[in-house]
Amino acid sequence: MPLLYASDLRRAVQSAEIIAHILGVREIKQFPFLREKNNGKAADLTEVEAKKFFRKPSTESVLDHANYEGGETRREFFHRVADGMNKLTLGDRDIIIVAHKGTIQNVVFWWLGFDIAEIADKKFSVDVRPGSVTALGINRWHEHALFMLNETSPKTATFGIDEFKEK
């Protein structure tokens, strides 16, 4: 049985509950570090309302810029997620993480061993689609690998991680 971790925000918990029901998972562990980037003053506002408070970066480097008063910078967001992932005991069990786009991006970067400064310097990104499945694991060469990204087909997305493990 896999472990099921989720952001503690409502829509992630609701999605995790559906997954738990289908897979027969009894417990969903909720973590605040799996939340989306904190938008400070713009939190819970509509996009139109939030635009009134948007602060444009003064330079192209946005790692240390908060778009909204009281919000997180890109660097702070990455380190919150990476620090949280480092504290989890991953063990040998499969883990399902239900979170948000930016959070999943940061989990992928963390898993692959990148620091956010490297990501920004190389202008690299992972475009995570809503409602998609991303599969991370250890390949047969014992490397951290990205096996699947943005899978939305129910047939493929309900795979077992065992398909990727060395036999």
What ranges do the domains of the chain cover? Answer: 3-34+94-164
CA distance 32 to 87: 13
pLDDT digits (tens, 9 = 90+) for 1-23: 888 999 999 999 999 999 899 88
Is 60 exceeded by the pLDDT of residue 162? no
Interior CA angle at 71 toward 107 and 64, to 5°?
70
Measure the CA–CA gap between 161 and 167, rounded to whole angstroms: 12
Instruction: Annotate 81-112 with b (16+ C-beta within 10 A) or e (fewer).
Output: bbebbeeeeeeeebbbbbbbebbbbbbbbbbe
Q: For the segment 34-82, what is each residue's pLDDT rounded down to a tens digit?
A: 999 999 999 999 999 999 999 988 877 789 999 999 999 999 999 999 9
Distance from chain centroid for Cα 100 = 6
Residue 150 · residue 129 · CB < 8 Å = yes
**Distance (Å, whole) CA 104 – CA 5:** 12
Amino acid at 154: P
Q: Is pLDDT above 60 for 134?
A: yes
Q: Cα 102 vs. chain centroid, distance in angstroms?
A: 6
Q: What is the pTM of this model?
A: 0.88
Query: What does the alpha-carbon distance between residue 146 and residue 136 come to, in Å, rounded to a whole number?
Result: 5
